[in-house]
Amino acid sequence: MAHGFNPVRSVERFSFGDRAACERLFYQAFRFVDRTCREVRPLPEYEQIIDWMTDTGGKGLILTGDCGRGKTTILTGVLPLLFMHCKGRVLAPIHADKLPGELVPYLKRWAYCVDEVGVESKVNNYGERYEGFQVLINEAERLLKPVFVSTNLDSEMMTRRYDKRTTDRVIRLCRAVRFAGESLRE
């Protein structure tokens, strides 16, 4: 577009194969990226991610819930490996506490992948205070970029931390997968 504005908005859908292929890929990738894990047990939350892999529906993922269930491994290891191996795309995870200093260059990515949302500090730019995560979500909504997030915050805590608009946008951009249960860390 000569004027720099594209009024047409659309999402990019992905599929990593049929259900059986996605299940195989997911568990192979999990075992490859987390070599400390002796056995990767099927969990209900993993099944939801495998379902998403068959057709993303143009949505990313928000992995929420209890500690020690594999959220960070999936977000920072499994998903980047799958996108690189199957789609030739670099999905570059960033830890939320890095957002304040690395936000502007990170916004140039094709998709956003943020681990531990809720732990980052507010950005203070010449007296103006704002949340880097909100800026990222606003940009993702504007351009309909895929968003991948892990957090220990539930939706109520996320709304208190950011605001209702941000939470609503995350819901639009991401399929939510709740991780619940005892920690699997040994």
33-62 tens-digit pLDDT: 988 877 788 889 999 999 999 999 999 999
pLDDT, one tens digit per residue, over 160-174 is 988 999 999 999 999
Residues 6 or more apart whose CB falls under 8 angstroms from that of 73 comprise 30, 33, 34, 37
Tell me whether residue 72 is exposed, middle or buried, using C-beta atoms within 10 angstroms of its C-beta: 0 to 12, 13 to 18, 19 or more.
middle
pLDDT of residue 114: 96
d(CA 27, CA 128): 45
Q: Is position 172 within any domain? A: yes
What residue numbers bound the domain in which 68 lies? 19-179
Is the separation of the CB atoms in 106 and 116 below 8 Å?
Answer: no
Which sign, positive or negative, has the C-alpha torsion 115, 98, 77, 11? Answer: positive
Q: Is position 139 within any domain? A: yes
Amino acid at 65: G
pLDDT of residue 120: 78
Q: Is position 12 within any domain? A: no
Domain count, the chain: 1
Q: What is the mean pLDDT of residues 132-146?
A: 92
CA angle 65, 42, 158 (to 5 degrees): 15
Tokens 């795309």 sit on residue: 89
* CATH code at position 127: 3.40.50.300
| Angular region, 173: left φ>0, alpha ψ -120 to 50, beta rest | alpha
pLDDT, one tens digit per residue, over 78-103 is 999 999 999 999 999 999 999 878 88
Q: Is position 136 within any domain? A: yes
Q: Is position 8 within any domain? A: no
d(CA 102, CA 48): 31
Is this prediction's pTM over 0.75? yes
Q: Is position 2 within any domain? A: no
Residue 63 in this model has a pLDDT that exceeds 70: yes
pLDDT of residue 110: 95
Rounded to the nearest 10°, the torsion over CA 34, 64, 118, 12 is 80
Q: Is position 13 within any domain? A: no
Q: Is position 11 within any domain? A: no
